[in-house]
Amino acid sequence: MKPLIQQAEATIPTMWGTLRMIAFSESDGDYSPHLALLSTPFDNEKKVLTRVHSECITGDVFGSKRCDCGAQLMSSLEQIAQTNGLLIYLRQEGRGIGLINKLKAYNLQDEGFNTSDANVHLGFEPDERTYEIAIEIMEQLGIQSIELLTNNPEKLGSIEESNIELVRRVPLIMPTSKENEAYLKAKKDFMGHLLDGK
């Protein structure tokens, strides 16, 4: 994989405050670059409250209740804007299987498969995501230590194996609803997500 390049950046006023958005990609013609959103002001010499968020078009954009992704994104942006924070938005939709396969997995879930088994049934790993790109972005931004907003032990492991100091995990627990109850249970039972808030 080629090194990522900071292709463009701009100031983005949001409902929580002003953020700085930087697009990272191998080429300036990439239609879907990875994104970093930084609080303003931002200090890379201090510990940085960080959220590594994988793209979820259905939840992030259209407010799907099948998952907690959109709620996690909104909560993360609010917290990041209020502190020395960073959100890295990785383009690995559907736990890395893409939107088309994600919709196929939804149909399997409606037939009784859990979110993990649906991906496996389609020929994928339960979770195809990787986090090396997020670490590369942090390194390019000169970040040395972070507090990580996550419930995902794989993200914790990736940071612990990097040169970025993981100061602590900050839980990101969203309310359970009838629409996402089975999804969250599968994340906890089959993927080991830390959903007890500790």
Q: Known catalytic residues?
A: 127, 129
With a CB cutoff of 8 Å and minimum separation 6, the contacts of 172 are 51, 72, 75, 76, 149, 150, 151
Element (H, E) at 167: strand 165-170
Compute the distance between CA of residue 55 and CA of residue 176 in angstroms, rounded to an integer.
20
Q: In this structure, are residues 164 and 143 in contact, taking their beta carbons and an 8 Å threshold? A: yes
Output 116-122 pairs: Cβ under 8 A, ≥24 positions apart: 116/186, 116/190, 116/191, 117/190, 119/95, 122/97
Where does the chain have alpha helices with state H? 69-81, 93-96, 99-110, 115-121, 132-140, 153-160, 181-191
List, in sequence order, every residue forming a beta bridge with 163; answer none if it has no partner.
Answer: none
